Amino acid sequence: MNARQEALAQRLHTVRLRMKAACARAGRPTDSVTLVAVTKTVEPEVAADLLMLGVTDFGENRPQELWRKAAVVPTGRWHLIGHLQRNKVDRTLPLATLIHSVDSPRLLDAIEAEAVRQNRGVGVLLEVNCSGEDAKQGFEPDQVPGLVDRILGLKQVRVRGLMTMAALSDDPEKARPAFRRLGSVAETLRKALAGSPHTVDELSMGMSGDFEVAIEEGATLIRLGTTLVGDLPNP
């Protein structure tokens, strides 16, 4: 392995150990959490290295970057974790395993319309602003139950869960209330959609600074960038 691959292998090993320990503290199996490697700051070759090391899921903030990197690493499972503009829905749907960032009824409707046009099943997460920050996008927690009728009317889109971002802090414990709130909102929505095709069983929460707390609070998808791919050595 070259220097970059060796660094990635060591970081991945450390992250896996931390994930395992967090799952043990929460009484969960380690395989109940999926690592999504966020590659927004690196070239596609880094994603290819991670794929070789056993990482299968990758996250991008910008649709254009997802398109570019998915073309280079087509066997990866690509997640869109940033905002999706409605005019980029058509090119994104065939490439995205999961869209984490559905943040408005208009976007949900646009994805459904394009999914119907393409005759394609699409999995999405609803983005919920559990930190209460004005700068963050997403539904307010108390808005989510009001989406039930709209969700039940979807033909091609399946709501598989929820996503949130905690407020930035040097103290991971400060993220816990936001993560706990997302779990509560998800449980309410899951009950309301019981018996429908919408499973609401995924919680996308936790990044490099707080992913262990997120796992303890029920995260099934953690989105790690800096911890894995920050300041890598040259190959």
Is the per-residue pLDDT at 98 higher than 90?
yes
Share of the chain above pLDDT 70, in %: 100
pLDDT(136) > 90: no
CATH 3.20.20.10 fits 3-229, yes or no: yes
Give 76-92 pLDDT, tens digit per residue: 999 999 999 999 999 99
Domains of the chain: which residue ranges? 3-229
Q: Report percent pLDDT > 90 for the chain.
A: 95
DSSP at 184: H
Chain centroid offset of residue 168 CA: 17
For residue 119, is pLDDT > 90? Answer: yes
76 neighbors 46 (Cβ within 8 angstroms): no
Give the number of other CB atoms < 10 A from CB of residue 233. 11
pLDDT at 177 over 90: yes
pLDDT on residue 25: 97
Does residue 235 or residue 111 have the better pLDDT?
111
Q: What is residue 71's predicted lDDT score, i.e. its pLDDT?
A: 97
Q: Is pTM, for the whole model, over 0.95?
A: yes
Q: What is the pLDDT of residue 133?
A: 87
Q: Which helix (H) or strand (E) holds 229?
A: helix 226-229
Residue with tokens 């220097």: 3
Strand 57-60 to 77-80 pairing? parallel
User: Beta partners for 121?
Assistant: none
Q: Maximum CA pair distance of the chain?
A: 53
- 106 to 111, 132, 150, 233: CA distances (angstroms): 9, 21, 11, 42
> Is it the case that residue 235 has pLDDT exceeding 90?
no
Phi/psi at 153 (5° precision): -85, -5
How many other CB atoms sit within 10 Å of the CB of residue 182?
Answer: 29
pLDDT digits (tens, 9 = 90+) for 30-67: 999 999 999 998 999 999 999 999 999 999 999 999 99
Compute the distance between CA of residue 133 and CA of residue 118 in angstroms, rounded to an integer.
36
CA dihedral for 13, 19, 25, 28, sign (positive or negative): negative
Residues 6+ apart with CB under 8 A from 78: 58, 59, 60, 66, 69, 70, 95, 96, 97
